[in-house]
Amino acid sequence: MLTSGGLIWFGVSEIIQYSGMKTIRMNNDALDTGSDASAWIIDLLTFGGKIPFHVATSRLSKWEWLIVHHAIGRSDVLLVADGAEFDGLVAVTQTHGGWLEFWQPGQVIPPESTVIGWLRIPAPVMDMIAEEWRRARDREVMDLAEVDAILRSWEAEKVLDERLAEIADRVERVETVFIHIGRDVFSKSDAGSSTLTRDGLLAGLRKVHYSKWRESDRLFVVLGLCLFASGRSVRFEEFNGRQLSVAGVRDFLLGRYAGYCVSAGIDFGTDQPLGLFELAERVRELQPAADQSPDMRYRRINGLTFVKSEHLMAFPFPRDPSVLPAPVAEYGAALGVQLTGDVRGDMNRITRVAANVDAGLAGLSAPGSQGALGELLAAVVLSAVVATGSDYGMSSSMRNLAGLRGAAPGGIDGVLSLKKGDFFCCCLPHPLRLPAAADGEDVAIVWRAAQRMMYNRWHFAPGEFDRSDIPEKRHYFFPPQVPDIAEHSEKHHGGHVASRVRFTIRAPGAQAWHPPFTVFGHGFRGCYDIRLVRMEGPAFTIGHLIEAVRHCSLVDEFWRTLAVGVESGIFPVRPMQGFDREWYEARTWQQLRPFATAHRAASAGIPLGGAEVLRELIGITF
């Protein structure tokens, strides 16, 4: 067994052992038949069930897809170990990344693909595959004509090179691109292949006339820009690990169009748009209405394929906690705040008092260099960690909101002057699930995660400004705008491997259904969050995602309150302190009052929400 990029691929004898097939004999030509052969294919395609079958097959070319869907379940399809004695076999190979491939009889197999077996498929079945492949290819030819017409129009308008520069820039705004068109791969990744950037594919296209491009190149340029028109570069990620085609993009856009119309209660209309870019613009226009509907947009991420699929779920307003969580409520009471039961109002008052404590105006002091504001934010994080059974969680943002001030209202110069050290991350372990370890593993895990988030924050900071405002050489990503839930996040990401990040939830703020977080004349999204991590299974559920979103509402109120103080001067706001290397190495989180509350709740198995819980756990009533 060999590994590449954190994934596993197998030689033939190892596949037999891996699949647990007891009937296979290596000295026979026929390895296996029927359902066992089907199980072998499914197991390898899905990486032992880590990828849903429909997602695993969506990366295959149309001919490969037809092979799989015709072969699965047939008792007359043979899996052959040595194909030398047979004609007309379908070769089965694996890439170094572990991905399964299927090759037509006689087709030349590239040296980077390793043959692991052959499929002997009856001739009548191969005839049916050929028939369906011809019909699919005819549709592709028709769709390519639409793409070529768009390219001709761009050339006539003398904007084709501008469009190429635009897509090259858009590719840089997402962490990973990994798209298939036929057998061609269009990728951009720090950890894996980067055909678009390091290999110079996009730069090369600008040097030749588009009539000299491959079919796949023409499709990528037009469809990539179409996806961007429907909702920024993050739409690329909807097709990571999948085949990109005109039909697939049209189906995706129609699905978003229908979903947003249903959620927002908007009539579909009888003049539904047919052009790709017209449809993309309509989807983008409907997105704000969907965000104000009783349904919430979120994304599901599979770390193996990089695919990030948007979904809608019923989640009526308000999306705040019904009661202030116990660690937050107890800390507020310790600061002398009389709780009223108005969750956002109480969070606002606690934040103001904590700011006064840090300014030395309240006659109170908080342990640790993080101060009272840091301890209050820690209370929210710890509550989210315990409520969702996470191993650890975090919230990150800027240390000093005054650093966002530009020379003119809404200006970008303040943001451009920021360094990594101007950001912080409050990353805290579960009181019981990640206890202090003698070898300091707990410290290493949370400090590494905190550093990664400080780095990410620097990248996100300019993302809500116009592209023309951002210097060409200032790298940045578009900040996240909708919550997401992910599994197998450690497969390709070095930082996730180091911090044992397998299952994750991210709830960014300012949330899409609220106004942007506006400070010094500019609105920001994705500038603070709640993130949660499990290092082992089980995976998070939608219920856990909802819990994270509710806790992010508290973080949202925290930062909006501080913005008022910073801009108006009504109350003092000291820059956020602590949460640096010394803070983590001293395990300062163990001194926090909310940590004791969360530890008590976790030890007793008491949930952290609800008025009855507040009375039982900390004796607070409204």
* Closest CA relative to residue 571, chosen from 364, 349, 366, 409: 349
pLDDT of 107 over the 80 cut: yes
Least trusted range by pLDDT, from 494-498, 500-504, 552-556: 494-498
Residues 6+ away with beta carbon under 8 Å from 500: 391, 445, 490, 533, 535
Provide the pLDDT for residue 293: 96
pLDDT of 497 over the 70 cut: no
pLDDT of 160 over the 80 cut: yes
Number of continuous H segments (helices) and E segments (strands) in the chain: 20, 18
Band (pLDDT 50/70/90 cuts) for residue 92 is very high
The per-residue pLDDT for range 549-593, each reduced to its tens digit, is 999 999 999 999 999 999 999 999 999 999 999 999 999 999 999
For residue 71, the one-letter residue type is A
Average predicted confidence (pLDDT) for the chain:
86
Least trusted range by pLDDT, from 79-93, 118-132, 267-281, 602-616: 602-616
Percent of the chain with pLDDT over 90: 65
Band (pLDDT 50/70/90 cuts) for residue 494 is low
pLDDT of 616 over the 70 cut: no
Provide the pLDDT for residue 9: 31
Domain chopping of the chain, boundaries: 2-121, 137-294, 326-618
Instruction: Provide mean pLDDT across the span 161-179.
Output: 91
Q: Which of 490-515 are b and which e, b meaning 16 or more Cβ less than 10 Å from the residue's Cβ?
A: bbbbebbeebbbbbbbbbbbbbbbee
pLDDT of 1 over the 60 cut: no
Predicted TM-score (pTM) of this structure: 0.84
The per-residue pLDDT for range 189-217, each reduced to its tens digit, is 876 678 998 889 999 999 999 999 999 99
Instruction: Provide mean pLDDT across the span 59-75.
Output: 93
Helix%, strand%, coil% for the chain, nearest 5: 45, 15, 40
3-state secondary structure labels for all residues of 193-259 = CCCCCCCCHHHHHCCCCHHHCCHHHHHHHHHHHHHHHHHCHHHHHHHCCCECCHHHHHHHHHHHHHH
* Closest CA relative to residue 367, chosen from 334, 391, 326: 334
Provide the pLDDT for residue 21: 27
Provide the pLDDT for residue 5: 33
